[in-house]
Structure 1
Amino acid sequence: MNLFVDCPWRLVVSDLDGTLVTGTTALDHLGAWIGHRAIIEGLEDRFTRGEVSDREVAEGYAPFYEGVALADAVDVMSRIPRLDDIGPAVAMLRQRSVDAFIATVSWSFAAQALADAWGFSQVCGADLELDQASGLFTGRVARHFEPEDKVAFVADHCRRIGIGMKQVVAIGDGRSDLPLFRAVGFSVALNASRAARAAASTAVEGTSFLAALQAVPHLLE
């Protein structure tokens, strides 16, 4: 018997960098491993100031991945700093028949590596081209991903399974989350920027993903 059929929410969509991942970003973490951290940090600073777009950032990063093995990059992602209790919190959502996605403008492979570890069912993000035969990245972007694409990805999923965007909860920390915050039924700004806190339904600080979920009315009741 499902004891949680009255839950009004059907999907929780969480950002990656600055939200699930703490104290760094997937790109910075991978950049330190590959050996181009200074360039990554410079691009990210310019992006934060609004001087470059997500597309320009991805094009700037991609060449440094040429010849890098996907399997090795996935292993590096397993050691990235993150919030506490993500896996158990996602399991609680599943018990309540609430799905959980990761939506990021960063590399989709990085999000997928963590989704597999934590139990998120789907991810979206920018795709880095992979040579399937060798398992090595080519150093080219296969698909760019903008903040508005998060909304399109979630909306398409909602249409396919017959739920409304107002049954979706979004959790994020920065300006790439604002379009999704505006489109869903409830939003949580987690350890967020001033703009994200102002746009969100509520704001939470701390190291617990479960605490962010508990801030959503009726989600875990």
Structure 2
Amino acid sequence: MAAQETAPTRPGRPSLNSSMRSSSYLNGNQQYRPPNKPENHYGIDTVVEDLNATSISPPRQISPFNGIPSVENPPTIVESGVSHELSHPNCTQPLGNSADRLVATLFYKSTAPRISNAAVPSPKKTQSPNPHGSDVDLIAPSSSFDTFPLEPPTAESEPLDHLYGSHISPMCITSFLHLMSTFPLPPGSNDMISAHRCLKVERDHEDRPTVVELTLSPAPSRDYLSLDDLRKHELIYQFELEWNVDVVLRSDTLWRRYPRLVVFDMDSTLITQEVIDLLAATIKDPPDLAACVADITHRAMLGELEFDAAFRERVKLLTGLPASIFTELRSVLDVTNGVRPLVRALKRLGVKIAVLSGGFLPLTSWLAGELGLDYAHANEVVIDETTGRLTGEVKGLIVGKERKRDLLLEIAAKEGIALEQVVAVGDGANDLFMMEAAGLGVAWNAKPMVQMEADARLNGDSLLDLLYLFGLTAEEVEKLTS
């Protein structure tokens, strides 16, 4: 009895307070360490309020406890630019089921930064009296109150990349995820789960990604909004404008990562010029011919003119040009930045490559040979055998929008390639049919209507960006192009 009275008193056991636990199992079932555990045994049931009073052998720094891992506080691992959350909802599906995931690839447009509204000169003020009491800036395409909309559009928002970083910042990603969370989910789904990968970062700045791939699961309800309609949604456009990015939305399918045929337009895609404009520029009489042909070309690319008729009209204006002009123009052609390494990468991946041009076969075939393309189709002009000059006529079918689509289908069938694994890249209205037929249609620095209708739009300075749509990282791209 006396021995018990002299025994040291065991200190009271500390407990978790409300700031150190979350709404997890421990919240309702607070656990404790059994008496038979040694004092230096530490597990999740030994979290205490004051670790300073506890001896630890060997001594080590203890990180403050920030909450029990739970749905509200999931453990997060960051490794090699990939963020993981240790949760498994919709992580993998049982055999026979499939997850409807959406992949969003964000490209920061570093070569075309938006100017802050504060730096933009104010539009010319109207001299007409404002019915509301004061002069206002007219920002609609109008110059008088007679035609001014009853609900004038608001000014464009301030470029947010100026505030949060000229790259795809965490705030940009957060804003995009918040935007996507506003769309209804499929029946039976309560939460959207996301993961991201940084595919490309600025040189010497690992914390400044310029291409980021986000995977969202599940995708917004297709019954509410189809993928085509989602791509054209005003909120997506507004987000792109605010953050100075291009957003490419694709279903996360197997074929997304494995293209087998890539088809390119030539003028303003594989090369930066329009060949027919180059031809017209060589004719000095009449002096305004080049401008006339360029105007027809521009309107045809916008879709304002029917391409076949516009092409015949322009070729007619080239009557009398020597056929040798096609050879002379070879040295003038300016291949688009990134095309040569892109072709090299695609060939290493075993992808077939074709160019379908509304231009002229002599130059298209030569360029295809220079780049190592597998197929080349373009228009054949009639050359007078006696004079060796263009007659102003076209031989055979015009390679317009219908013909481009048909040629794409013919090449895919010949190679035994499913259309889901075909990619079509162009910039003009005459490319829309082939882009629609392909599994993925990409608008490259394209006209407004083409940007709106295409599956994807890229507005960078290198066509090599196409590879990031297949989920390749900058490191993988470098290996493929070296």
**Shared fold by TM > 0.5?**
yes
Name the amino acid aligned to 1:101: A
Higher RCO (CA-CA < 8 Å; seq separation 6+): 1
Aligned to 1:180: 434
8 Å contact 2:279–2:318 — kept in the other structure?
no
Q: Compared with structure 1, are the counterparts of its residues 131 and 197 closer, same or farther at alpha carbon in structure 2 (3 Å cutoff)?
A: same
Aligned to 1:208: 462
Q: Compared with structure 1, are the counterparts of its residues 216 and 174 closer, same or farther at alpha carbon in structure 2 (3 Å cutoff)?
A: farther
Q: Compared with structure 1, are the counterparts of its residues 162 and 69 closer, same or farther at alpha carbon in structure 2 (3 Å cutoff)?
A: same
Cα RMSD (Å): 2.7
What is the CA distance between 1:156 and its match in structure 2? 0.9
Aligned to 2:276: 27
Aligned to 2:262: 12
Paired with 1:210 and 1:139, the residues of 2 have a C-alpha distance of 37
* Matching of residue 166 in structure 1 with residue 431 in structure 2: no
Paired with 1:183 and 1:57, the residues of 2 have a C-alpha distance of 24
Aligned to 1:56: 309
Q: Secondary structure at the match of 2:393?
A: strand
Q: Secondary structure at the match of 2:266?
A: coil
Aligned to 1:79: 332
Matches within 5 A, 1:103-142: 103-130=356-383, 136-142=389-395
More helix by share: 1
Name the amino acid aligned to 1:78: S
Aligned to 2:157: none
Paired with 2:462 and 2:302, the residues of 1 have a C-alpha distance of 28
Name the amino acid aligned to 2:355: I
Paired with 2:326 and 2:378, the residues of 1 have a C-alpha distance of 16
- Percent pairwise identity: 26
What is the CA distance between 1:202 and its match in structure 2? 1.9
Q: Pick one of 292, 295, 319 that aligns with 1:39.
A: 292
TM-score w.r.t. structure 2 length?
Answer: 0.41
* Matching of residue 197 in structure 1 with residue 451 in structure 2: yes
Moved more, 65-74 or 170-179: 65-74
Q: What residue ranges of structure 2 are gaps of 5+ in the alignment? A: 1-255
Q: What residue ranges of structure 1 are gaps of 5+ in the alignment? A: 1-5
Structure 1 residues 29-61: Cα deviation after superposition (integer angstroms, max 9, x where no partner): 121123431231232244346453222222222
8 Å contact 1:78–1:113 — kept in the other structure?
no
Q: Secondary structure at the match of 1:163?
A: coil
Paired with 1:7 and 1:134, the residues of 2 have a C-alpha distance of 52
Aligned to 1:156: 410
Paired with 2:468 and 2:385, the residues of 1 have a C-alpha distance of 41
What is the CA distance between 1:173 and its match in structure 2? 1.5
Paired with 1:54 and 1:25, the residues of 2 have a C-alpha distance of 14
- Number of residue equivalences: 215
What is the CA distance between 1:9 and its match in structure 2? 1.3
What is the CA distance between 1:99 and its match in structure 2? 1.2
Q: Compared with structure 1, are the counterparts of its residues 132 and 99 closer, same or farther at alpha carbon in structure 2 (3 Å cutoff)?
A: farther
Aligned to 1:3: none
Structure 1 residues 38-91: Cα deviation after superposition (integer angstroms, max 9, x where no partner): 231232244346453222222222234445444431331431233113222212
Larger radius of gyration: 2
